[in-house]
Amino acid sequence: MSAHALLRPAIERFVRHRLAMASAAMLGLVALAAAAAPLVEHALGTSAATVDLFERFAPASSAHPLGTDELGRDVLVRLLYGGRVSLFVGLTAALAAACIGTLVGLIAGYLGGRIDALLMRITDSVIALPLLPLLIVLAALDLEKLGFSPDGAASENASLYRIVVIVALAGWTTVARLVRASALALRRRPFVLAAQAQGAGAARIMMVHVLPNLATPIIVATTLAAGHIILLESVLSFLGLGIQPPIPSWGNLLTNAQELIWSSPALAFYPGIMIFATVIAFNFLGDGLQDALDPRAHRR
């Protein structure tokens, strides 16, 4: 049976999931708008970092469609650049966490025995840690004391990459448990036993025969994790421990607006609604993919 024939029922089930389709369309529009940030910046004749104190708190106009902030910077441009950063952190950290979790879960589920017990105890230990306090502590560490050069620790992108690494190292456990459970069921399937009988090594069996059959839980878990990571990044940035200015993100846009919530509530509303809508969209998209990729979905 061709790959197209296998994917067609899944695509049809996904299309019938209206919330998932609407979420995918919304996420696509958000991604396109964020990617077009330089074009919008050029069209408006401004930049995300341009400070104009004479234009502080300017109302919405043709020059500034969403107005300006407390430093006269264009809110729309900063919101689009913040979306680029937040989506980059969410997707990159989710993919990195999925890779770590897939590796751990695949080895634990296929090999079993003491290796499985050891890896699962490590996974349980990470799960038992309080996530938000752990992220706060890790985000507050001084990079210079960890061996990084002063220039690297003080660079604008240091906080960005640090958040990606921290969230990926703390967020792989869900994928690991899902992959392990599926690998335990797959390792006694006839096609795996046939590969073992033909003399295939454990590494080849895991990569060629077992891993392709784990695509469904990995894709679904990664999609759901992306929204959760965007929310975590926003929380850390809101607390002042995430993405640091001058790089804009939805989280630190909220941080800048918290003292102006009564005088200029729109500055908090725009990034807040983008975080809310994006996280909800990723959740609905994950639900839709789970229903579409589940081969038993058509029976329900």
* CA–CA dist 116, 228 (Å, integer): 27
pLDDT cut 90: percent of the chain above it: 23
Residue whose tokens read 């295939």: 200
The pLDDT of residue 68 is above 60: yes
Instruction: Give a yes or no: residue 55 inside a domain.
Output: no
The pLDDT of residue 2 is above 50: no
* CA–CA dist 164, 96 (Å, integer): 8
Q: Supply the DSSP symbol for 1.
A: -
The pLDDT of residue 42 is above 80: yes
Summarised one tens digit per residue, pLDDT across range 265-274 is 888 899 999 9
**Range 25-29, long-range pairs (CB < 8 A, 24+ positions):** 26/277, 26/281, 27/278, 27/281, 27/282, 27/285
Nearest to 226, CA basis, from 145, 152, 289 = 289
Q: How far is CA 220 from CA 11, 116, 138, 152, 217, in A?
A: 15, 23, 27, 35, 5
* CA–CA dist 102, 214 (Å, integer): 9
The pLDDT of residue 175 is above 80: yes
The pLDDT of residue 145 is above 80: no
Q: What is the pLDDT of residue 4?
A: 56
The pLDDT of residue 142 is above 80: no
Q: What average pLDDT does range 15-33 have in this prediction?
A: 90
Instruction: Give a yes or no: residue 53 inside a domain.
Output: no
Q: What is the pLDDT of residue 156?
A: 67
68 SS3 class: strand
Instruction: Give a yes or no: residue 50 inside a domain.
Output: no
Instruction: Give a yes or no: residue 34 inside a domain.
Output: yes
Q: Which residue has the higher pLDDT, 32 or 203?
A: 32
Q: Which residue has the higher pLDDT, 276 or 156?
A: 276
**Mean pLDDT lowest for which of 67-76, 153-162, 248-257?**
153-162
Q: What is the pLDDT of residue 296?
A: 57
The CATH number for 134's domain is 1.10.3720.10
Domain hosting 251: range is 8-43+72-299
Instruction: Give a yes or no: residue 189 inside a domain.
Output: yes
Q: What is the pLDDT of residue 281?
A: 92
Q: What is the pLDDT of residue 300?
A: 47
**What's the pLDDT band for 153 if we cut at 50, 70, 90?**
low
pLDDT, mean over the chain: 84
Q: What is the pLDDT of residue 56?
A: 86
**What's the pLDDT band for 1 if we cut at 50, 70, 90?**
very low
Instruction: Give a yes or no: residue 2 inside a domain.
Output: no
Domain count, the chain: 1
**Mean pLDDT lowest for which of 48-62, 149-163, 235-249, 269-283?**
149-163
pTM of the predicted structure, to 2 decimals = 0.86
Instruction: Give a yes or no: residue 3 inside a domain.
Output: no
The pLDDT of residue 96 is above 90: yes
Instruction: Give a yes or no: residue 1 inside a domain.
Output: no
